[in-house]
Amino acid sequence: MCGIIGYTGSSQALPVLVQGIRLLSYRGYDSAGVAIWQDGSLRIRKDKGRIEDLAPRWSPDELAGTTGIGHTRWATHGVPNQVNAHPQHDDGETVAVVHNGIIENDLALREALEADGVPLVSDTDTEVFAHLFARAFDGDPVAAARHLLEACHGAFALAIQHAAMPDTIIAVRRGSPLLVGVGVRENLVASDLRPLVGRADAVIDLGEDQIAIVTPDDVRLFDADGAEITAERRPIDHSERDIGKDGYPHFMLKEIHEQPDRIYELVASRIDPKHQRVRLEDVGITDEQWRAFDRVDLIGCGTAFHACLYGAYVLEGLAGIPSRALMAHEYDARKPHLDERVLAIAVSQSGETMDTKIAIQSAVDGGAHTLGVLNVRESVIGRTVNGVLDIHAGPEVAVASTKVYTQMLCGLLLLALRGAQARGTGDGLLAEIAPALKRLPDDVRTVLGRFDRVREAARDVRRAGDMLFLGRGFDAGTALEGALKMKEISYIHAEGYPAGEMKHGPIALVSREVPTVAIATSGPTRERMIGNVREVRARDGEIILVATDGDGDAEKLADFVLWVPEVHPLVAPVVNVVPLQLLSYETARLRGCDVDQPRNLAKTVTVQ
């Protein structure tokens, strides 16, 4: 979704802002822009399009200044065009604003401004900030920023410039994340860490309703009452700096290949082999609480929701707590019964997804114990919940989630094992699973080493218009995830189903032109999956089978077999999704699609 970058220092701002916009573009955007202070006025350049096309049109001579703000916009209020792109400004162009988030009362504010004779030129809610700030500013930027916090409802992160303040950026945060990057005689403002890496040595996370006044040598922080507060700085750690492609042609492929190392680190740090215990003390759920829970709600969207499906199986199956996976945007509508015996888990890579944030907030309000299974601990959801299980996947740049999904599965399995431990339902369980978890990175590596076979299958499916993905039990979610990956990056229409649904409708779609990917690896659901595969075969459907090494039936039943090593059924979804990630990657690549930044999608969806 939208991204913010701001710079004030002694270097030219334009190249820093353009590079920042490039680094933010993984979030998805349809327009971009910059404002730079020069000779007492703000120079604003912005338009619909990608930064590669826009930046060459922005003349460094006309934008020669050392303080500026930049933005990537993903349209919500108003179509993507020049007028609606950010920075937005007031009528005199004395104020420029870039904004992530939404003003909920923007219609009322617009009407009030228009009634006062203020001309509004864009369809955006952001423009309101520019007019309100300009009218409230009397030389004191904190007072004008406080006026915005008072007048505007919703979630927003803002970077603001005023023509009367040559080297100053005013940063305001409510609900949406905003960081100040602290460098040497230069400071930056950004909506996430990526554009700060390499320039800033430390960051200040703006808290709720805080205002920062940022100049090249100073960062002053104020609360909503205008009182100055201490700005806590934290260093940028090594893993946060790691944002290159490491020689891979795409971030997605790099991230798929990072999975073995990430899984190893997560599992190794959480299992105490000596005492046969899962160590999740920092998550903050006591044995007593575990024993008292009588329901688990796992809440997420998209890929994270698919991880929730698996999470519900393992939490119920291993820890014996009735568990359900729920799409975050449907949560409130159910009016769930909530109290302290409900464990509500928000599963989210970004920790910023608005639907998930709203759902988990209602669980907080209802008195449930709340937990985030997150990749960004310092996120909006991370600050909302009682505890966080950090899945430590490292930065994920490709819009399509891969390594985060397998980390979510591993994190949820560890959580279920911990629950089982506390509730006494896990006797001997860890002894059984620990070796499988230990071998898991190597098993994933084995599948990655079989990319050539996947390439052959991709050459075949690249021309398909539609595809089906089938799995059962733990792998029902794998099927949904395989279909989501395929549709989002290759634009082939793909549907994923728990295979038992086939005869209740989807089987009508089976034909030679609709390849079916079936996950039928060894384990309790294999026989029934093979039954489904035969049904597809009997209708002349093409089959790509994910099967376990040594399965004697696989070659006979399938057009292509994607072999995976024999693993414990509880960890099979982690291994089985990998050939599907590779298949979607390769199919998208062969079809000439923009693998890392598929059309219409944003990495982080911060609107409802």
- Which is closer to ligand F6R, CB of 391 or CB of 433? 391
Q: How far is the CB of 438 from ligand F6R (least distance, A)?
A: 27
Kindly tell me the burial class for residue 239, based on how many C-beta atoms sit within 10 Å of its own C-beta (0-12, 13-18, 19 or more): exposed
- Judged by CB under 6 A, the number of residues near ligand F6R is 15
Spatial distance between the Cα atoms of 307 and 443, rounded to a whole number of angstroms: 20
Q: Which amino acid is at 294?
A: D
Q: How far is the CB of 349 from ligand F6R (least distance, A)?
A: 3
Spatial distance between the Cα atoms of 439 and 564, rounded to a whole number of angstroms: 13
- Which is closer to ligand F6R, CB of 44 or CB of 605? 605
Of residues 135 through 154, those in contact with ligand F6R by CB under 6 A are: none
Here the tokens at position 91 are: 């009528």
Interface residue with ligand F6R among 67, 187, 604, 606 (CB under 6 A) is 604
- Which is closer to ligand F6R, CB of 64 or CB of 491? 491
Taking alpha carbons only, the member of 291, 569, 323 closest to residue 419 is: 291
Spatial distance between the Cα atoms of 588 and 369, rounded to a whole number of angstroms: 41
Applying CB under 6 A, which part among 183-191, 295-303, 313-321, 507-515 lies near ligand F6R?
295-303
> What would the x/- binding string for ligand F6R be over residues 81 to 120, using CB under 6 A?
----------------------------------------
296 backbone dihedrals φ, ψ, rounded to 5°:
-120, 130
> Does residue 400 bind ligand F6R (CB under 6 A)?
yes
Taking alpha carbons only, the member of 120, 18, 331, 62 closest to residue 345 is: 331
Q: How far is the CB of 544 from ligand F6R (least distance, A)?
A: 20
**Contact (CB, 8 A) for 545 and 560:** yes
- Which is closer to ligand F6R, CB of 349 or CB of 516? 349
Interface residue with ligand F6R among 65, 177, 302, 394 (CB under 6 A) is 302
Identified catalytic residue from 46, 48, 357, 603: 603
Q: How far is the CB of 424 from ligand F6R (least distance, A)?
A: 32
Of residues 479 through 518, those in contact with ligand F6R by CB under 6 A are: 484, 488
Helix, strand or coil for residue 261?
helix
Applying CB under 6 A, which part among 61-69, 302-310, 443-451, 522-530 lies near ligand F6R?
302-310
Q: Cα separations (Å) of 492 from 227, 363, 475, 485, 600? A: 54, 36, 21, 10, 15
> Does residue 401 bind ligand F6R (CB under 6 A)?
yes
Q: Residues 416, 418, 419, CA angle at the centre, nearest 5°?
A: 65
- Which is closer to ligand F6R, CB of 88 or CB of 349? 349
Interface residue with ligand F6R among 304, 309, 545, 588 (CB under 6 A) is 304
CA pseudo-torsion sign 557, 560, 564, 570: negative
Applying CB under 6 A, which part among 11-19, 90-98, 172-180, 298-306 lies near ligand F6R?
298-306
Q: How far is the CB of 311 from ligand F6R (least distance, A)?
A: 13
Lookup result for tokens 């999740």: 280
Across the strands, what pairs with 372? 346, 388
Residue nearest to ligand F6R (CB): 302
Interface residue with ligand F6R among 145, 197, 231, 301 (CB under 6 A) is 301
Applying CB under 6 A, which part among 249-257, 269-277, 296-304, 361-369 lies near ligand F6R?
296-304
CA pseudo-torsion sign 219, 224, 227, 230: negative
> Does residue 314 bind ligand F6R (CB under 6 A)?
no
Whether 603 is catalytic: yes
Spatial distance between the Cα atoms of 58 and 420, rounded to a whole number of angstroms: 59
Spatial distance between the Cα atoms of 534 and 517, rounded to a whole number of angstroms: 13
> Does residue 203 bind ligand F6R (CB under 6 A)?
no
**How many Cβ atoms from other residues are within 10 Å of residue 607's Cβ?**
16
Applying CB under 6 A, which part among 77-85, 235-243, 299-307, 360-368 lies near ligand F6R?
299-307
Applying CB under 6 A, which part among 169-177, 239-247, 282-290, 297-305 lies near ligand F6R?
297-305
Taking alpha carbons only, the member of 400, 402, 447 closest to residue 593 is: 400
Taking alpha carbons only, the member of 211, 220, 88 closest to residue 145 is: 211
Q: How far is the CB of 375 from ligand F6R (least distance, A)?
A: 7
Q: How far is the CB of 360 from ligand F6R (least distance, A)?
A: 11
> Does residue 31 bind ligand F6R (CB under 6 A)?
no
Interface residue with ligand F6R among 19, 67, 126, 303 (CB under 6 A) is 303
- Which is closer to ligand F6R, CB of 176 or CB of 303? 303
Here the tokens at position 443 are: 């098993």
Q: How far is the CB of 398 from ligand F6R (least distance, A)?
A: 8
Q: Cα separations (Å) of 23 from 126, 135, 314, 400, 544? A: 22, 33, 37, 16, 37
Please list the alpha-helical segments (H only) found in 427-506: 429-448, 451-461, 476-490
**How many Cβ atoms from other residues are within 10 Å of residue 38's Cβ?**
19
Q: How far is the CB of 399 from ligand F6R (least distance, A)?
A: 6
- Which is closer to ligand F6R, CB of 533 or CB of 602? 602
Here the tokens at position 285 are: 């759920």
Identified catalytic residue from 2, 152, 301, 410: 2
- Which is closer to ligand F6R, CB of 401 or CB of 446? 401
Task: Write the DSSP assignment of 123-167 as a string of letters.
Answer: S-SHHHHHHHHHHH-SS-HHHHHHHHHHH--EEEEEEEEETT-TT
What's the residue count for the chain? 608
**How many Cβ atoms from other residues are within 10 Å of residue 458's Cβ?**
23
Of residues 321 through 350, those in contact with ligand F6R by CB under 6 A are: 348-350
**Contact (CB, 8 A) for 528 and 520:** no
Q: How far is the CB of 62 from ligand F6R (least distance, A)?
A: 38
Of residues 346 through 375, those in contact with ligand F6R by CB under 6 A are: 348-350, 353, 356
- Positions marked catalytic: 2, 603
Binding site for ligand F6R (CB under 6 A): 301-304, 348-350, 353, 356, 400-401, 484, 488, 604-605
